[in-house]
Amino acid sequence: MIKRTDNLQRPNFLFIMCDQLRADHLGCYGNSVIRTPYIDSLAARGARFDRSYVAYPVCMPNRACLMTGQMASDHRGINNGIPLDLESTTFVDVLAHHGYQTGLIGKSHLQGYTPRDPMYGYIADDELAAPPEELQDALRLSRWSKGYRVERRIASGELAQEPYQEGFYGFQHAELVTRHADFTDGHHLAWAEKQRPDFKSLVGVENALPDQRPRGPQAWRTAVPPELYSTQFIADRSKAYIAESAKGDKPFFLQVSFTDPHHPFTPPGKYWDMYDPDDILLPNSFEQITTPRLQQVHKMHAEGKHKRKGGFAMPVNEEELRALLALTYGMISFIDDAIGKLLSQLKEDGLLENTVIVFMSDHGDLGGDHGVMLKRMHHYQGLIRVPTLWVEPGAAASVRDDLTSTIDFPTTILRRAGIQPFNGAMGRDLFSDQEPDGLIIEEAAGQPKPGTSTPPSLRTLVTRSHRMTLSPDDNFGELYDLARDPDENVNIFDDPSAAKIRTDLMEIMVRRMMQLQTTSPLPPFAP
């Protein structure tokens, strides 16, 4: 049990988030190749959660789950490009109300920062009269106002010359990095161009440095030096925020959100060849195909129809996988070095003894499991299970194997700050509330044409012993005994011997989904 502080001794929070980092890509989670000494040092003096899962294995939806404590089906940001409702209460709003200084340095992705992808727009049926634009959605032009274009305006440079301090989902101070790889923009681009006006001449595959070894799709040796890369920007600006906060008398909540180790693969400088691809181990599941959807992905690649662009599950061969994982490890080591600088800043400012440090990722990566990398519509452990560390000042190191979800953090953080959570935050307090029987993970892809059924979707239940995933539109299911088959190589969903456990898991899934039904909004006050 964590000792709670009174309101006069509320802790600071340093909340560190990576993008697309799987748990087993860290030394403290058993990886014998990668070197992550600073992250490992956090695990050595904090709680390491071994069964921590996302609520939605895609960037924007899960980041909104984190902010609200709601499942995506409740906050309704069910895909990238759908911004978090400005009317949503976030735990950062509540912290700010109770006197916390709140800052965000790095990736936000609570709003879209690129034009809407047409595949997610309204699809008109040529044989029917379409509703007018304002009636094409169940919510009339919801999330279309000027307030939903803040990230896009920062990404374009319009609002990127100074920190954004007009309030952003509870963050009083925001310096945002949008996009990925070496072509990030927003506040990072403005910062880099002040130091080197021709910065844009260094970015992208067209300006890449020569490399002697083939690396695979979405990889190039960037000409951007480490000192101008987004990871360094996030570290430098976070250090400055911590130093400035130390001068005041208010506690702070700072979210440090790295854009890596996300694809494309462009670790700069020494991080490019820090790891030898020949040292990278292949996953035990590399050649195992367990679902029709995965079989289709590999079939498309074999027929030359898979472009291997974007973020959808990308087939790779052994050489490509080793090379891309080596580059991924380089990105992670760069982040680890940056975290070392943040810890040094906390120590220099005398803040270590009153700062709770949380480390996690917005989701994982398929990472070569079953022959694919990246994400989308395949709920293998590498994608849905994320590293999670909670470092409490003065507490002993521990390992937690209870089921943990993204939606648990608003409640846990607010209570740790001595603040009552808001109605509608559905997660539990990780240090005082009972573990659920199972966790629900949601995902939907695109949207259907008018008059058709729901878009292709997955619903997953994770318990201590099993993972079950239903795909109603594709008429198949997955069931893995995680104790006997941790690599998820044998799908026993249709095995007659698994009928009893499948039935039991179905009941747990239904009950858990009912428990997660939102209690918000409260009825309006009487006039």
Tokens linked to 522:
């409260």
What pLDDT is recorded for position 114?
82
Please give the DSSP secondary-structure letter assigned to residue 489. Answer: -
* pLDDT value at residue 5: 41
Convert the pLDDT of each residue in 121-168 to its tens digit. Answer: 787 888 999 999 899 988 988 898 999 999 999 999 999 999 999 999
245 pLDDT more than 50:
yes
- Residue 212: the pLDDT is 85
pLDDT at 213: 87
* CA gap 382, 364 in Å, rounded: 6
What are the extents of the domains in the chain? 7-120+145-433
Give the pLDDT mean for 49-76. 97
Distance separating alpha carbons of residues 291 and 313, to the nearest angstrom: 13
pLDDT mean over 201-207: 97
pLDDT of residue 8: 41
> In the predicted model, what is the mean pLDDT of residues 44-62?
97
The predicted pLDDT at position 2 comes to: 43
Q: Which helix (H) or strand (E) holds 47?
A: strand 47-49
Q: Are 324 and 373 in contact (CB under 8 A)?
A: yes
Q: Name the amino acid, one letter, at 342.
A: L
Q: Give the CATH number of domain 7-120+145-433.
A: 3.40.720.10
Closest CA to 14 of 108, 103, 110, 107: 103
Average pLDDT over residues 266-286: 97
As to burial, measured by CB atoms within 10 angstroms (0-12 exposed, 13-18 middle, 19+ buried), residue 169 is buried
Mean pLDDT of the chain: 94
The reported pTM is 0.95
Say which DSSP state 470 is in.
E
3-class secondary-structure state, position 315: strand
pLDDT score of 118 more than 60: no
pLDDT of 364 > 90? The answer is: yes
Percent of the chain with pLDDT over 90: 87
CA dihedral 518, 55, 261, 330 (to 10 degrees): 140
Cβ atoms of residues 263 and 374 within 8 Å: yes
More confident residue, 72 or 446: 72
Q: List the Cα angle 504/507/513 in 5-degree steps.
A: 140
CB-based contact 259:19 (threshold 8 Å): yes
The confidence band for 4, taking pLDDT boundaries of 50, 70 and 90, is: very low
